[in-house]
Structure 1
Amino acid sequence: MPDDRHYPPQSPVAVGLSGRCPRCGQGRLFDGVLKLAPRCRACGLDYADPGDGAAMFVILIGNFCILAGALWLEFTFSPPLWVHVVLWLPIAVIYCVVALRLIKGVLVALQYVHKAAEGRVEP
């Protein structure tokens, strides 16, 4: 597909959260739940994988929130250990999958908007 067509600007947050192409806003960003598609099926844009950037945000934010909730529950109600396992394990898994997809989509869109590329050493 030709790259010289004009595409209206897309909000990187809006297209990232909705899992759409950052250039045309139509194609899907993911091939599965978390697997990034190699390119947009609508406009042909090759997607750049953000690597572990999304995982870092998920781990830092999620661990803080889940640990705060678990500590609050423990010091407020002192439930048995099995309550923590039954409550926090599904919450952690669901949070990680959902947050990783959302943040990964936004990072891919931001890479496109800011024309991110591999670092090059200038002579």
Structure 2
Amino acid sequence: MKGYLSVRESCPVCRQELHHHRADDGPAYLTILVVGHLSAPLLGLVWMTWQPDPMMLFTGFAIFAVALSLYMLPRVKGGLIAFQWARRLHGFAAAPEPDTDRPGPEGPDTE
């Protein structure tokens, strides 16, 4: 990542091109899914245990949901791009596989 959600054109270490990834809305959907599944039971538990004022409950859970979403979104996006790379999806398949039979950049072996 080079910004909060923007992806670098290529990896600075291995030079793998990343510009052709197709994450689109997937990270947002997955983040909403996870935050919702964590928030719903927690909301019920807090309400049944302490029965706070509804406005305090709303404010607390709104802050919790926004903070967790902001924390998770870039990580989920990176994970989705890594999954695409690992499965050779959406342009990553065009990357040449390393050929172990060819000699390295120093030339042929002269043993």
In structure 2, distance between residues paired with 1:68 and 1:77: 14
Unaligned runs of at least 5 residues, structure 2: 92-111
In the TM superposition, residue 111 of structure 1 has moved relative to its aligned partner by 0.9
Determine if the alignment matches structure 1 residue 108 to structure 2 residue 75. Answer: no
Kept in 1, the 8 Å contact 2:31–2:73? The answer is yes
After the TM superposition, list the runs of 4 or more consecutive aligned residues in structure 1 that deviate by more than 6 angstroms.
none
Query: Which whole-Å CA distance do the structure 2 matches of 1:76 and 1:96 have between them?
Result: 25
Larger Rg: 1 or 2?
2
Spell out, residue by residue over 1:33-77, the C-alpha distance to the aligned partner (whole angstroms, 9 max, x if none): 222223223443221141122222111121121121112111222
In structure 2, the partner of 1:39 is 10
Aligned partner of residue 51 in structure 1, secondary structure: coil
Aligned to 2:45: 72
How large is the Cα RMSD of the aligned pairs? 1.8
User: In the alignment, residue 5 of structure 2 is paired with which amino acid?
Assistant: L
Shift of 1:108: 0.7
Structure 1: unaligned runs, 5 residues or longer: 1-29, 119-123
User: TM-score under structure 2 normalisation?
Assistant: 0.68
TM-score after normalising by structure 1: 0.62
For the residue of structure 2 that corresponds to 1:31, the secondary structure is coil
Q: For this pair of structures, how many residues does the alignment match? A: 89
Do 2:22 and 2:90's aligned partners in 1 also have CA atoms closer than 8 Å? Answer: no
